[in-house]
Amino acid sequence: MRKSAPRGFTLLESLIVLLIMGIGMAVSVPLFISAMKDSQMKQCRSNMMAIANAEEQYKIKTVPHAYTTALTNLVGDFPVVPVCPNGGTYSVTISDGTKTAQNGQTVPSGNIIISCSVSNDGKYAQQIDTY
Phi, psi angle pair for 37, to nearest 5°: -65, -40
Residue 2 falls inside a structural domain: no
Our count of domains for the chain comes to 1
Residue 3 falls inside a structural domain: no
Tell me the pTM.
Answer: 0.78
Residue 131 falls inside a structural domain: no
The tens digit of pLDDT for each residue in 21-59 reads 999 999 999 999 999 999 998 999 999 999 999 999 999
Amino acid at position 44, single letter: C
pLDDT at residue 63, rounded to an integer: 83
Q: 108 or 9, which is more confident?
A: 108
Residue 5 falls inside a structural domain: no
Distance between start and end Cα atoms, the chain = 76
pLDDT at residue 26, rounded to an integer: 95
The tens digit of pLDDT for each residue in 80-91 reads 788 889 888 999
pLDDT at residue 2, rounded to an integer: 66
Structural domain of 112: 11-124
